[in-house]
């Protein structure tokens, strides 16, 4: 298993891992729930092109099997996280591993690589959002040193209740 920074050539494979991850949400999401339409490969590529953004992929036998990414955090506005930068805070916006590789330590290695980059980049803290009913992911993040920072809140655009989690460095 190789971990490396994501490249533009990885965008489609990372998108496929992401969408497969979103399909597992059907186990806890409301009936009829579907991933947001703006979660395409083009959106991730654009987001990774923002100043300060960084992503890592896990590659096993020439196939992308995991993807993590962050960017400097911004305040939320009516258009999403498009407000002013929040000094010292990173926003982790992707943590996905192919179900075929669950339980193999891939997520732990990917998240460690990402948080090492966040720390090295000078951020004091990072945030991420996780579905409140996604108990497996919430337990994973807690084991990795993340803590709940909010109570569950509904995000209409996603049709899910989320919890913000944070980790200090």
In a domain? residue 107? yes
In a domain? residue 145? no
Q: What is the pLDDT of residue 43?
A: 74
Q: What is the pLDDT of residue 82?
A: 72
Which residues make beta-bridge pairs with 74?
A: 85
Q: What is the pLDDT of residue 38?
A: 64
Which residues make beta-bridge pairs with 95?
A: 68
In a domain? residue 141? no
Q: What is the pLDDT of residues 73-87, one digit of tens each?
A: 998 866 667 789 999
* Mean pLDDT calculated for residue range 134-161: 95
In a domain? residue 116? yes
Range(s) of the domain holding residue 77: 2-128
In a domain? residue 137? no
pTM for the complete prediction? 0.93
CATH number at residue 92: 3.40.630.30
In a domain? residue 60? yes
User: Domain total for the chain?
Assistant: 1
Q: What is the pLDDT of residue 47?
A: 85
Between 29-43, 77-91, 109-123, the lowest mean confidence (pLDDT) is in 29-43
**What are residue 48's phi and psi, to 5 degrees?**
-70, -20
* Mean pLDDT calculated for residue range 141-155: 96
Q: What is the dihedral of CA 125, 106, 57, 152, to 10 degrees?
A: -40
**What are residue 168's phi and psi, to 5 degrees?**
-95, 155
């Amino acid at each position: 298993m190789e971990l490396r920074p994501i490249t533009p050539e990885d965008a489609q494979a990372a998108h496929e891992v992401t969408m497969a991850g979103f399909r597992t949400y059907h186990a806890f999401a409301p009936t009829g729930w579907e991933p947001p339409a703006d979660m395409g490969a083009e959106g991730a590529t654009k987001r990774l092109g923002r100043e300060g953004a960084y992503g890592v992929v896990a590659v096993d036998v020439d196939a992308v099997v995991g993807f993590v990414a962050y960017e400097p955090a911004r305040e939320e506005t009516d258009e999403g996280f498009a407000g002013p930068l929040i000094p010292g805070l990173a926003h982790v916006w992707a943590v996905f591993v192919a179900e075929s590789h669950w339980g193999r330590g891939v997520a732990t290695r990917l998240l460690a690589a990402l948080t090492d980059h966040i720390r090295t980049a000078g951020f004091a803290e990072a945030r991420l959002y996780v579905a409140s009913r996604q108990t497996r992911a919430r337990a994973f993040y807690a084991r990795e040193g993340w803590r709940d920072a909010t109570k569950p809140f509904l995000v209409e655009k996603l049709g899910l209740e989320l919890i913000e989690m944070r980790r200090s460095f």
